[in-house]
Structure 1
Amino acid sequence: MRLPLARKAAATLLTAGVTLSLVATAAQADPLPSNVDARPPIIGGTEVSNDAYPFMAALLRKGPGSALERQTCGGSLIDRAIVMTAAHCVGGDPADLEVVVGRTVLSNNQQGQLRNVTAISSHSRYGKEPGYDVAILYLDKIVEGIKPIQQPTPGTDGLIRPGTKATVIGWGNTDTEMPHYPDRLRQVDVPLLSHNECEIAYGPEKGVNAYNRVTDICAGVEGTDSCQGDSGGPIFRTVPGTQTHIQIGIVSRGEGCAAQGGPGVYTYTGSKVLWDTMMAGKDRR
């Protein structure tokens, strides 16, 4: 997936030529080790101004160092004390994780609100079959003064018409040659693809990394994409003429970043099946 590898570890893996798909397979099989970061960064995007997307969350490993050094994945505030992210981002103990919401520049500890994570609920089907890459983080205190990002009505598809542009944001890798992880949040607009196109790119031979048209969407074109470090963050549409953003997906996985024929795969937050099965055999830590 567009895996969370700790920033230094991610740079080492990419420099060594390890493919993203291999890293993703390992992450699905076992809980992420403490040095793991998320999917690659925004490719072909632009910097975001302060407070443009206050609902954006950064998942941080607890420990020494700045948030820039400790960030592993993205997430989104969906309720006052709940953050949604990708299941592959949160394989460990909630006590080892903290979340900052409303921060644009990771190293600026004057921005945003820092919260501990008290529990994690990952989708019970994640890692057993394609798709279902979603997890819910429960925070120790509510986030004050920040409006959660809006979610689509389950079972609808009006927001994912092929060819439509959507925006993805994150602190992930920005360079396909030499890893570069930015301090300031970045954004890029990517075109949504049809289920048929996504299935061609990620067929059954990919195993649990294959495309699942029930719970996934895919987006991107050569030169614009999400990447390592962006995992768990939101892809969203914006209601014309307003500041209302509707999250249509969660950064999940992909082969490479911004490569021809390798669009990013996102967990579709409008999937009724995704939420109907979320709590079946739930994994809450």
Structure 2
Amino acid sequence: MSEKKPRRRRWWILGPVLVLLAPIVLYAPFLVWEYTRPQPDPVPGSGQVSTAAAPWVVVIGNPKTYADSPSNKLCVGTLVAPKAVVTAAHCLGSEPADLTITVGRDDLRGNSGKVVRVAATWRDPGYAKGIAEESFAGGMFGQVRLASADIGLITLAEPVDTPALPLADSPAGGSAATVYGWRMSPDDQPLLWQAPTTVAEDAECVRRAADSVRFIPPRWHGVSYEQAAYLCVGAERAIRLRATDSGSPVVVGGKLAGVASWSGSVDPAAPDYYTRVAHYQSQLRTLIDAIR
């Protein structure tokens, strides 16, 4: 009898462990699908572009966390002044000293261009507040209210002699646009690409978000969001930005109109959503003007 007691104790321990592991095992295939979902075919007119043609597109790196990533790429940003880069707020959770900005590098496997240290970062306070209000349960049983204000600003430690991109007013639905990113090639090579697209009508963006389904919570059963804070592109034909291309610019009329923020669905035909720069233009201009 004394030999059986330890076995029972082991089973009491093993039982709860199995209960905890079961959902993870069942959920794993969906997780894999979310991160390995097929990309849509390239949009006609898309292809590799040089930073000589788009010098304001820059790489945000984190050598500590992304040591194995080409050029330590964490996200993408847009140079809007000699010492200022606009990107997504969710890209700026690291300490400024841990970040770098790489300018003028077409192929991230090389070492061309210039690497600049980061002096400071700013995230719109509304983004942190919105994240705190997101609900896991809400994503499981209903729509999630998406955090707004997914926009931030990086101050460089030194100015760079590179053309900057001006901030745009809010573009009208149907406006021609161009999306940039380093993971847009069909073979997922770390090359700078561009793709033509159009800005979707606001009503279409809202409807597509509400109908979206994602396997990764909390966004399982649709998303609602502050319409003024976002715009979407590619509703007629998707241009999927892969992970680490967050913060990439959408350019309309030679100006920065949006910053890549989130995707509403695993459907390759679903549009991508960008923080609407015009909505935060006043704040950004005040911050940029204060940078010396």
TM-score when scaled to structure 2?
0.68
Distance in 1 separating the partners of 2:30 and 2:242? 11
Number of equivalences: 231
Higher RCO (CA < 8 A, seq sep 6+): 1
Find the counterpart in structure 2 of residue 172 from structure 1: 183
| 1:18 counterpart SS class | helix
Residues 1:139 and 2:148 are matched in the alignment: no
Alpha-carbon distance in 1 for matches of 2:283, 2:123? 13
Q: Of the candidates 193, 198, 208, which is equivalent to residue 186 of structure 1?
A: 193
Correspondence for 1:100 among 84, 99, 102: 102
Q: 1:271 corresponds to which residue?
A: 279
Q: Which residue of 1 aligns with 2:245?
A: 230
Cα offsets for 1:161-191 (capped at 9, x unmatched): 212220010112545xxxx532220111112
1:268 aligned partner, one-letter code: R
- Taking a change above 3 Å as real, the CA distance of residues 228 and 132 of structure 1, as seen in their structure-2 partners, is same
Q: C-alpha distance in 1, partners of 2:200/2:55? A: 28
Give secondary structure in 2 for the equivalent of 1:196: helix
Match of 2:33 in 1: 17
Structure 1 position 88, deviation (Å): 0.8
Q: Which sits farther off after the overlay, 70-79 or 214-223?
A: 214-223
Partner in structure 2 of residue 3 of structure 1: none
> Which of these residues, 199, 202, 208, is aligned with residue 201 of structure 1?
208
Q: What residue in structure 2 maps to residue 89 of structure 1?
A: 91
The aligned counterpart of 2:167 is: 151
Q: Distance in 2 between matches of 1:166 and 1:257?
A: 23
Q: Tell whether the 8 Å contact from 1:54 to 1:103 is kept in structure 2 after alignment.
A: no
Which letter maps to 1:166? A
Cα offset, 1:18, TM superposition:
3.3
**Is the CA contact 2:121–2:155 (under 8 Å) kept in the aligned structure 1?**
yes
Structure 1 pair 256/101, CA: closer, same or farther in 2 (3 Å)? farther
Instruction: Measure the CA separation in 1 of the matches of 2:154 and 2:123.
Output: 9
The equivalent residue for 1:37 is none
| Contact persistence 2:184–2:193 (CA under 8 A) | no
Deviation at 1:270, TM superposition (A): 1.1
Gaps of 5+ in 2: 1-27, 131-146, 213-218, 287-292
Could you say which structure has the larger radius of gyration?
2
Question: Which has more helix, going by share of residues?
Answer: 2
Q: Aligned Cα RMSD in Å?
A: 3.4
Percent identity of the aligned residues? 23
Letter in 1 for 2:167: Q
Alignment equivalent of 1:259, drawn from 254, 268, 283? 268
Equivalent-residue separation in structure 1 for 2:124 and 2:60 (angstroms): 18
Q: Which amino acid aligns with 1:165?
A: A
Q: 94-103 vs 61-70, which deviates more?
A: 61-70
> Shift of the alpha carbon at 1:231?
0.7
* 2:236 matches 1:219: no
Using the size of structure 1 for normalisation, the TM-score is: 0.70
Give the Å deviation of 1:229. Answer: 2.5
Unaligned runs of 5+ in 1: 1-11, 21-39, 239-244, 280-285
Distance 1:53 1:277, change over 3 A: closer
Q: 1:96 to 1:77 in 2, by over 3 A?
A: same
SS in 1 for 2:228: coil
Q: Provide the C-alpha distance between the structure 2 equivalents of 1:58 and 1:168, rounded to a whole number of angstroms.
A: 15
The question of whether the paired residues in 1 share the 8 Å contact of 2:58 and 2:79 is answered with yes
TM alignment of 1:54-133, pairs within 5 A: 54-63=55-64, 68=70, 70-110=72-112, 112-129=113-130, 130-133=147-150
CA shift at 1:104, angstroms? 1.5
Aligned equivalents of 1:54, 1:14: Cα separation in 2: 38
Q: Secondary structure at the match of 1:199?
A: helix
